[in-house]
Amino acid sequence: MRFHVVTIFPDFFGSILEHGLLKRALAAGEIEIRIHDLREFTDDPHRTVDDRPFGGGPGMVFKPEPIFRAVEQIRADSADPSWPVILLSPQGRLLTQAVAEELARHRGLILICGRYEGVDERVATHLTSDELSIGDYVLSGGELAAAVVMECVTRLVPGVLGNEESAQQDSFGEGQAILDCPHYTRPAEFRGLKVPEVLLSGNHREISRWRRRQSLEKTWRRRPELLAGLSLTAEERAMLEEMERARVTPAPR
Ligand code: ADE
């Protein structure tokens, strides 16, 4: 998987490439990341990337020419011109695990980090194949969002995760979206706070039942809209009915 990132802050990506999963995947050659400075694709002495919005209003808008040039150059240099060109912006479709799985099927992605009040709309209509948002909140630029996309897609690249940390076990994996169960480690008692007995029991059937129930209950309380998309076993449906019957009011947490 090769990521191309177009940004006005190329140095932003230094530290995320030097830590954890991305560092490991880069070192192993499982992914490649190329950062492109948008200002390199300007043609004026001031290296201008933005301008005032037509129609008036506050802030500045990214000009189309440098972004088009950057993407055309990347395409000309890369083997495959069919790689998705993705604009990161709060107007995009929401990044979910299912979207990450879809992106991970490609051999490369071109990520364009937006900035300021916006990006000239001709970039979205005539250059990019997709526009992605990482959530319903506004960041001042797409750099953090591009980092999020690279991290969650890299986890899905075959070979990046060892068997033990397989993405198959992710709670949002394989079309299943359910919140993860609680996890505990030693000590078994900390400041009077005890680890649930069942986890110390060694009874693996009971442990996995407890975990599934905890996942369901957390999802039911915090993200009930996710439950509709789950394929549940009869036992899990019974667990949910029991929660409903117990009339535990979903807490706003
Ligand atoms: N740029 C600014 N806000 C963003 C968001 N929520 N997602 C992706 N890119 C963004």
**Residue having the nearest C-alpha atom to atom 9 of ligand 1:** 89
Cα 248 to ligand 1 centroid, rounded to whole Å:
36
Question: Would you name the residues annotated as active-site residues?
Answer: 90, 117, 155, 170
Task: Judge: domain 2-154, CATH 3.30.565.10.
Answer: no
pLDDT reported for residue 78: 84
Q: Check whether 127 has a pLDDT greater than 80.
A: yes
pLDDT reported for residue 176: 75
Q: 224 Cβ partners below 8 Å, 6+ apart?
A: 250
**pLDDT tens digits along 176-203:** 799 999 999 999 999 999 999 999 999 9
DSSP code at position 28: T
Q: What is the mean pLDDT of residues 28-55?
A: 97
* Position in ligand 1 atom list of the atom nearest CA 140: 2
Q: What is the location of CATH 3.40.1280.10 in the chain?
A: 2-154
Q: Ligand 1 pocket: which of 112, 123, 139 to mutate (most atoms <8 Å of CB)?
A: 139
Q: What is the mean pLDDT of residues 154-182?
A: 80
Q: Which amino acid is at 68?
A: F
Query: 224 preceded by cis ω (within 30°)?
Result: no
Q: What is the location of CATH 1.10.1270.20 in the chain?
A: 176-248
Domain 176-248: give its CATH architecture. Answer: Orthogonal Bundle (1.10)
Question: Where is average pLDDT lowest: 69-73, 95-99, 113-117, 119-123?
Answer: 113-117
Whole-number percent of the chain with pLDDT over 70: 92
**pLDDT tens digits along 76-92:** 998 688 899 999 999 99
Q: Phi, psi at residue 3, to the nearest 5°?
A: -105, 130
pLDDT band at 115 (very low <50, low <70, confident <90, very high): confident
Give dist(CA 91, CA 76) in Å, integer: 28
What residues line ligand 1, using a CB cutoff of 6 Å? Answer: 88-90, 114, 133-135, 137-139, 141-142, 145
CB crowding 74-92: b at 16 or more within 10 Å, else e: beeebeeeebebbbbbbeb
